[in-house]
Amino acid sequence: MNGRTGTLLEVDDLRVTFPTRTGMVEAVRGVSFSLGRERLGIVGESGSGKSQTGRAIMGLTPPQARISANKLTFDGIDLLGISPRQRRALRGNRIAMILQDPKYSLDPVMSIGRQIVETLRTHEKVGKAEARERALAMLEAVQIRDPKRVFDLHPHEVSGGMGQRAMIAMMLIAGPEMMIADEPTSALDVTVQLDVLGILDRLVAERGMGLVFISHDLRLVSSFCDRVIVMYAGKVVEQLKASELSQAQHPYTRGLLNCMPKIGADRHPLPVLDRKPEWAA
């Protein structure tokens, strides 16, 4: 295994193509980046290919789509070359993913505790009692106050923030080395959003995980991540350090930053994005 500073994930010229009635549509068009044990943000608007990039790494691309890449490796393992079975062993165990809305991504007919235990027992040989203990400890780690009660609740019985914490607990229980978070807080209220981000931040730092944080919210990402990749029309238009966001060069990044209303800035009308065809070229 690579050291703590080594590269976890390498993506070179990743392409994801969907067949449609009107021909092939390239959702991701040659994305390259690498990830160490750091927090990397991928930002873009709907249709920019940011989620498809995350799904391709996770191996969740729909079967009709075609994926190609010069290189798509996780810890030296060629993700496109291994069998579905080997891929499944990685998924949830060494690579985990948090999805946007706990309402839709948790199993509605299974208690939260059982879902967490299921993840754990799929990847590790542990007894029922120990699995339960570890699930409860994990629920506590994501700051759920009464883990014993929440363990037996079903997803519809908890709030959005609580559901998202449960999902984080489920994703972390097998001790993954890399986590992909696809809009993990977009369905939550702003104040809850910060709580959940705080928990995620602490756990990622403590465990030395690599995190890919996918979001449409440039400001939020830059306050949370170390590095930011900006995507437009399936391509990376700019890569920069989160702290240097204000010095972004690409007109798209600058336009995105600019068009959001800010408290204290009196700009009427708001500047709008003037999309140039060459950005997508």
- Judged by CB under 8 A, does residue 277 bind other proteins? no
Where would I find the beta strands (DSSP E) of 21-170? 23-35, 39-43, 66-68, 71-74, 77-78, 95-98
- Judged by CB under 8 A, does residue 25 bind other proteins? no
- Judged by CB under 8 A, does residue 276 bind other proteins? no
Q: Binding marks (x or -) toward other proteins, 202..241, rule CB under 8 A?
A: --------------xxxxx-xxx-----------------
Nearer Cβ to other proteins (117/218): 218
Asked if 91 and 177 touch (Cβ cutoff 8 Å), the reply is: no
Taking CB under 8 A as the criterion, the residue among 23, 63, 127, 269 binding other proteins is 269
- Judged by CB under 8 A, does residue 46 bind other proteins? yes
- Judged by CB under 8 A, does residue 262 bind other proteins? yes
Contacts 24+ apart (CB under 8 A), 121-124: 122/92, 122/93, 123/89, 123/92, 123/93, 123/174, 124/174
Nearer Cβ to other proteins (60/242): 242
Residue 70: other Cβ atoms inside 10 A: 12
Nearer Cβ to other proteins (30/255): 255
- Judged by CB under 8 A, does residue 22 bind other proteins? no
**Angle at alpha carbon of residue 82, lines to 81 and 86, rounded to 5°:** 165
Binding to other proteins in span 145-204, by CB under 8 A? 160, 189-194, 197-198, 201
Nearer Cβ to other proteins (168/218): 218
State the greatest distance between any 2 C-alpha atoms of the chain, in Å, as a whole number: 62
**Angle at alpha carbon of residue 30, lines to 26 and 35, rounded to 5°:** 125
Where would I find the beta strands (DSSP E) of the chain? 9-20, 23-35, 39-43, 66-68, 71-74, 77-78, 95-98, 178-182, 210-215, 227-232, 235-241
- Judged by CB under 8 A, does residue 242 bind other proteins? no
Taking CB under 8 A as the criterion, the residue among 62, 63, 127, 261 binding other proteins is 261
Nearer Cβ to other proteins (62/269): 269
Residue ranges binding other proteins (CB under 8 A): 45-46, 160, 189-194, 197-198, 201, 216-220, 222-224, 255-256, 259-264, 267-273
